[in-house]
Amino acid sequence: MSEPARDDEADAMELTVDGLETYLHCPRRYEFAHDHGLAGSDDDTTIDDRVALLRTAICDGLRRGDPDREALEDAIKTRLEALWDGHDEPFHSLAQRRHERRVLEATATAYVDRVGIDHAAGIEQLASEATEGAVIGPGLSLSSTVSVPETDETTVSIDASVDYVYADGSAIVGVQFVPTLRSLGLLRYRPEWEGAVAEQFTDHFDPDADVFEPAFVGALFETAVVIDGLRNHCRRLGLEDRTCRYVRIPLADRSQTAVNWARKTVETSVEVADLTDVYIDHHTFGMTHEHRNRTVDDRLATVAGRLATGAFDPTDRWESISSHACPDCSYTVCCQEYIAQEVQFDG
């Protein structure tokens, strides 16, 4: 859970996109979780473990390099069966265990039908064009380096990952499997940066605006890091002239799942969220001819710079933090701001 410690002598620091989102929720929570390495409770471990199984099965199926639909689905499900046999999650009954496996298998089928065949063909194309470097994970490491504002040489390296990359025409697309898309908020329903997305991003950092959207901002930060990391990855692949895109695919979203309990069948569908268009702004793209957003990138550097200096005091946003972050925080028992708020006297 803990991130690499700050290296003040070298004026450098390594962060992760998950750590950045934690910091956006509450700087004090970041301090406890990542700076001090204190373990917190995680209610989503079960879902994350199931997603990890399906993520691994899909990546291993894609690694076989066969874009045929039946062959790809069979490879994924065969691998999933082997992984599921070793999965020791406690269930209420054998019937529940069988049902959860059917849900995963239905999700695998939905993935193949929705994008799997095209992605497998894109991976095959990319592998034939690349000079070296991995294209299939899970967990392909990416990294972006940002310069801290108002310093001479301080840089921060921010790590992210995708589960695989594939070629889509002249673009290289990074795909990350996630449990759901709920955290995207407005990004899930808007086609571009200009307008509502830009306003909400700006308002989140405005202390006078009644807006607090750390997951939304964190998703834009992650998109910036991943796309820049993909550019670096393209250089390692020998494909420097490609544009880069970032896609999330949920593997545990039950909102589109239909269960026939009598026939013991499950059907579902898979949504694909391309975060590229909602991240890039046309002005920056026109200036750089790269998928960038100067507003997001500059704010990312500022937040990373605050982290690099150990700015963990949440006072300036405490009203929003206490309302939105504290109710489900594992560290309230040792948080001085929260304790002080709870024990204050009226009058």
Whether pLDDT at 268 is above 50: yes
- Output phi, psi for 265, to 5 deg: -125, 155
| Residue 157, domain member (yes or no) | yes
| Least trusted range by pLDDT, from 35-39, 127-131, 236-240, 268-272 | 35-39
List the domain range (segments joined by +) for residue 187. 13-343
Under the banding of pLDDT at 50, 70 and 90, the label for residue 8 is: very low
Mean pLDDT of 235-257: 93
- State residue 41's pLDDT score: 67
- State residue 1's pLDDT score: 45
Percent of the chain with pLDDT over 70: 92
What is the rounded distance in angstroms from the CA atom of residue 180 to the CA atom of residue 107?
13
Whether pLDDT at 111 is above 60: yes
Under the banding of pLDDT at 50, 70 and 90, the label for residue 7 is: very low
| Residue 6, domain member (yes or no) | no
**Residue 342 vs residue 110, higher pLDDT:** 110
Under the banding of pLDDT at 50, 70 and 90, the label for residue 346 is: low
Whether pLDDT at 4 is above 60: no
Whether pLDDT at 345 is above 70: no
What lies within 8 Å, CB to CB, of 188 at 6+ separation is: 181, 273
What is the rounded distance in angstroms from the CA atom of residue 244 to the CA atom of residue 167?
10
pTM for this structure?
0.91
What is the rounded distance in angstroms from the CA atom of residue 162 to the CA atom of residue 152?
32
First to last CA, the chain: 41
**Residues 322-326: contacts with CB under 8 Å, at least 24 apart:** 323/212, 324/25, 324/212, 324/214, 325/25, 325/26, 325/29, 325/214, 326/26
| Least trusted range by pLDDT, from 84-88, 94-98, 194-198, 335-339 | 335-339
| Residue 5, domain member (yes or no) | no
The overall average pLDDT reported for the chain is: 90
- State residue 9's pLDDT score: 39
| Least trusted range by pLDDT, from 49-53, 120-124, 149-153, 273-277 | 149-153
- State residue 124's pLDDT score: 95
CA dist 156 to 12, 214, 228, 293, 304, Å?
A: 6, 20, 14, 18, 7
| Number of domains into which the chain is organized | 1
| Residue 230, domain member (yes or no) | yes
| Residue 334, domain member (yes or no) | yes
Mean pLDDT of 208-229: 96
| Tens of pLDDT, residues 128-169 | 998 888 899 999 999 999 998 877 678 999 999 999 999 999
Closest among 243, 253, 74, 217 to 165, alpha carbons compared = 243
- State residue 10's pLDDT score: 46
Mean pLDDT of 65-71: 91
Whether pLDDT at 285 is above 90: no
| Residue 219, domain member (yes or no) | yes
What is the rounded distance in angstroms from the CA atom of residue 141 to the CA atom of residue 138?
9
| Residue 159, domain member (yes or no) | yes
| Residue 320, domain member (yes or no) | yes
What is the rounded distance in angstroms from the CA atom of residue 101 to the CA atom of residue 266?
10
